[in-house]
């Protein structure tokens, strides 16, 4: 009769508790994340908890942070799926110290400490810089559209809002007339003292929809008015810097009143901060994400998210964030044509940063810069040299892989949270997790 290895009897109790160190190999990602999180300064996060009081004790924030970062580093973003992993996965159980926080606890922890993720991301970047893993001698900038936690079908154009508002007002008025006629008939049948306190269901639905449309319409009108004011101030500042009078608008030149939304301008009911943007799969409800990537390590050293579909004007903020996070200067910057902007190129020249910014799409001739765009002309000359073209070719190999890792390896193709501030916090969390995963691979090599 054949003989086989025998395992433990699952019904046999253990006299001594097992060591969690025996559950995972020494080079497992979970140990690296545990050690990294243990080095982070989380005093601000701990201070958010009350010192004393009645009720059940909270889970330790460092343990919750380990679990959350490991979850994002392994492509698990749902709080319910994280709870499931805490029951089924050895690595999750090790990081949780054999505790099983429920999905509500996980969700509350993430929601209550969103503002801390930016500082924690910066700490990990500084940790990499101090270890010599990130030097930002060469910094590559890239942007990508990531889906918002909202459907584009839950958006409505300004023209449709006005039509719906008028239609609902007519329907509500008609229902009110019918209700009045019914009341008068009931007064005759039952007497004037009869009363019905329930608001008709049909009327309540229409009033709620009307309120939502009016709120979205007001948000859109406010946003467009602010954008118009900001554009006027930018034109005025540009004219003053060039020593000329601000341009005056000709009477009757506008088809729409200044600051009023255009008929096709849209507002989303689910996530008002998100915008419809063009992606490789068509138009989607998205946010625009910018990252700065270290040329040697491919670590994300800075990230910025906004709801503007264009990358123009985003170059300087993300470079400044990278230098602040690492405490190191950026010597060379690479970016594609989406970041082309005369003012930004001039700022980079003044800062002594050797920049290589494409002026047109690859394989197509860029438009000739005007005589007043001196920085752009100098950039064109630089990119026209063999050395300039060779240096710019590095951009694709440096800037684009992290987005591929985010989307294809981690499966992070869209945000779980809603609202620009919450989305920015979640981006810091997933970038932090990706960096730790990348650092683990670098230190193991």
Mean pLDDT of 186-193: 52
Tokens of residue 433, six digits: 């997790």
pLDDT at 190: 47
pLDDT at 1: 56
**For residue 3, how many C-alpha atoms fall within 13 Å in the half-sphere facing its CB?**
0
The answer to the question of residue 77 being in a domain is: yes
Which of 14-18, 92-96, 320-324, 406-410 has the lowest average pLDDT? 14-18
Q: Per the structure, how many domains does the chain have? A: 3
| 339-364 pLDDT tens trace | 999 999 999 999 999 999 998 876 56
User: Are 137 and 160 part of one and the same domain?
Assistant: no
Residue 33 has pLDDT above 90, yes or no: yes
143, containing H or E segment: strand 138-147
**For residue 273, how many C-alpha atoms fall within 13 Å in the half-sphere facing its CB?**
17
DSSP state of 185: H
Residue 117's closest CA among 260, 305, 279, 361? 305
pLDDT at 347: 93
Please, what is the average pLDDT of the chain? 83
User: Are 351 and 325 part of one and the same domain?
Assistant: yes
Which of 255-259, 268-272, 402-406, 419-423 has the lowest average pLDDT? 255-259
Residue 425's closest CA among 415, 439, 435, 434? 415
Mean pLDDT of 271-289: 90
User: Are 222 and 261 part of one and the same domain?
Assistant: yes
Number of other CB atoms surrounding residue 238 within 10 Å: 13
Number of other CB atoms surrounding residue 356 within 10 Å: 22
pLDDT at 119: 94
Residue 65 has pLDDT above 70, yes or no: yes
Cα separation of 290 and 144, whole Å? Answer: 7
What CA–CA distances, in Å, run from 11 to 8, 14, 100? 9, 10, 22
User: Are 164 and 144 part of one and the same domain?
Assistant: no
| 140-176 pLDDT tens trace | 999 999 999 988 888 777 677 677 677 767 767 777 7
Residue 445 has pLDDT above 60, yes or no: no
User: Are 361 and 429 part of one and the same domain?
Assistant: yes
The answer to the question of residue 108 being in a domain is: yes
The answer to the question of residue 49 being in a domain is: yes
- Structural domain including 188 reads 155-248+256-268
Write down which residue in 213, 240, 268 finishes a domain: 268
Mean pLDDT of 311-323: 93
Confidence of residue 184 (pLDDT cuts 50, 70, 90): low
The answer to the question of residue 212 being in a domain is: yes
The answer to the question of residue 5 being in a domain is: no
394, containing H or E segment: helix 386-404
Residue 196 has pLDDT above 60, yes or no: no
User: Are 319 and 414 part of one and the same domain?
Assistant: yes
* CATH code of the domain in which 130 resides: 3.30.420.10
User: Are 142 and 289 part of one and the same domain?
Assistant: yes
User: Are 201 and 277 part of one and the same domain?
Assistant: no
Tokens 């810089």 locate to 129
Tokens of residue 7, six digits: 């395992």
Write down which residue in 112, 140, 171 finishes a domain: 112
The answer to the question of residue 3 being in a domain is: no
pLDDT at 244: 65
Residue 425's closest CA among 134, 119, 87, 173? 119
User: Are 280 and 383 part of one and the same domain?
Assistant: yes
User: Are 90 and 236 part of one and the same domain?
Assistant: no
What CA–CA distances, in Å, run from 163 to 158, 168, 204, 223, 255? 9, 9, 19, 20, 20
User: Are 196 and 210 part of one and the same domain?
Assistant: yes
Report helix, strand and coil shares of the chain as percent, to nearest 5.
55, 10, 35
Residue 60 has pLDDT above 50, yes or no: yes
Residue 372 has pLDDT above 60, yes or no: yes
The answer to the question of residue 36 being in a domain is: yes
pLDDT at 236: 72
DSSP reduced 3-state for 31: helix
Tokens of residue 4, six digits: 């086989």
User: Are 104 and 135 part of one and the same domain?
Assistant: no
DSSP reduced 3-state for 255: coil
Q: Where are the alpha helices (DSSP H) in 48-115?
A: 61-73, 79-88, 90-95, 103-112
Mean pLDDT of 248-261: 63
Residue 328's closest CA among 39, 143, 125? 125
Mean pLDDT of 10-35: 83
pLDDT at 13: 73
The answer to the question of residue 9 being in a domain is: no
Backbone angles phi, psi at 267, to 5 degrees: -135, 135
Classify strands 275-279 and 282-294 as parallel, antiparallel or unpaired.
antiparallel
Mean pLDDT of 224-234: 73
């Amino acid at each position: 009769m054949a003989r086989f290895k025998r395992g433990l009897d699952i019904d046999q109790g253990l006299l001594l508790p097992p060591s969690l160190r025996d559950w995972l190999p020494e080079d497992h990602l979970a140990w690296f994340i545990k050690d990294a999180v243990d080095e982070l300064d989380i005093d601000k996060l701990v201070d958010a908890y009350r010192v004393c009081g009645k009720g059940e004790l909270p889970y330790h924030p460092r343990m919750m942070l380990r679990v959350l970062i490991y979850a994002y580093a392994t492509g698990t973003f749902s709080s319910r799926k994280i709870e499931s992993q805490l029951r089924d996965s050895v690595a999750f159980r090790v990081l949780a110290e054999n505790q099983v926080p429920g999905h509500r606890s996980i969700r509350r922890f993430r929601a209550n400490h969103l503002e801390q993720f930016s500082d924690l991301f910066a700490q990990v970047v500084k940790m990499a810089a101090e270890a010599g893993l990130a030097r930002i001698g060469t910094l590559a900038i890239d942007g990508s559209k990531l889906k918002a936690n909202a459907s584009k079908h839950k958006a409505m154009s300004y023209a449709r809002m006005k039509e719906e508002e008028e239609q609902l007002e007519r329907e509500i008025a008609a229902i009110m007339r019918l209700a009045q006629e019914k009341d008068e008939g009931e007064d005759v049948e039952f007497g004037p003292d009869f009363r019905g306190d329930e608001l008709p269901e049909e009327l309540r639905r229409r009033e709620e929809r009307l309120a939502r449309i009016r709120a979205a319409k007001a948000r859109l009108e406010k946003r467009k008015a602010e954008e118009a004011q900001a554009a006027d101030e930018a034109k005025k500042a540009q004219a003053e810097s060039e020593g000329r009078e601000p341009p005056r608008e000709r009477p009757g030149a506008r088809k729409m009143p200044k600051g009023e939304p255009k008929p096709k301008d849209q507002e989303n009911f689910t996530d008002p901060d998100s915008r419809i943007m063009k992606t490789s799969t068509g138009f989607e409800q998205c946010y625009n994400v910018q990252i700065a990537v270290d040329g040697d390590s491919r670590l994300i050293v800075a990230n910025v998210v906004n709801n503007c579909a264009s990358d123009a004007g985003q170059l300087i903020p993300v470079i400044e964030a990278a230098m602040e996070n690492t405490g190191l200067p950026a010597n060379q910057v690479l970016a594609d044509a989406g970041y082309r902007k005369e003012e930004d190129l001039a700022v980079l020249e003044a800062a002594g940063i050797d920049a290589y910014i494409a002026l047109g799409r690859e394989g197509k001739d860029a438009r000739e810069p005007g005589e007043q765009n001196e920085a752009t002309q100098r950039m064109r000359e630089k990119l026209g040299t063999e050395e300039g073209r060779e240096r710019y070719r590095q951009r694709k190999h440096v800037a684009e892989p992290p987005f591929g890792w985010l989307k294809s390896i981690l499966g992070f193709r869209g945000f779980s949270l809603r609202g620009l501030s919450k989305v920015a916090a979640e981006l810091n969390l997933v970038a932090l997790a990706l960096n730790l995963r990348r650092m683990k691979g670098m230190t193991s090599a």
